[in-house]
Amino acid sequence: MGYGRAQILYDVSFHVGAGEVVVLLGRNGAGKSTTLKTLAGLLQPWRGEVRFDGTRIDGLPAYRIARLGIGYCSAVASAAAFPAASSRCWRSRARSWAIRA
């Protein structure tokens, strides 16, 4: 996954089960936002797949993914517009997630 010809993420793979809370940590430029934008359909994975409740969603347009209850907004934009909601910006109704590169 990346921007233009610049690959940002290499070999990303994780699963989030029902009821789990997962934190994505890393230094600036490590690919946290790129990963979340890929889950929300704003970027397409170069290889591999993204699944939501067992169904592949990579390749779907972002508006179709949004209809599943998956969205992305940057912390900077959300904090400025909705200060009380910034910690709740990334939301999903997923029972499970899987991403494999």
CA distance 28 to 48: 24
pLDDT at residue 79, rounded to an integer: 55
Token pair in block for residue 98: 């899987």
Contact 101, 13 (CB under 8 A): yes
Domain count, the chain: 1
pTM of whole model > 0.75?
Answer: no
pLDDT at residue 41, rounded to an integer: 92
Decide if 2 is inside a domain. no
Strands (E), the chain: 2-3, 6-7, 13-16, 49-52, 55-56, 97-100
Task: Give the end-to-end CA distance of the chain in Å, rounded to a whole number.
Answer: 9
Decide if 1 is inside a domain. no
Decide if 82 is inside a domain. yes
Domain that holds residue 61: 8-100
Decide if 40 is inside a domain. yes
Residue pLDDT tens, the chain, 101 long: 677 888 888 888 888 887 787 788 888 888 888 898 998 999 888 888 898 888 999 999 999 998 888 888 776 555 555 555 544 444 555 555 555 54
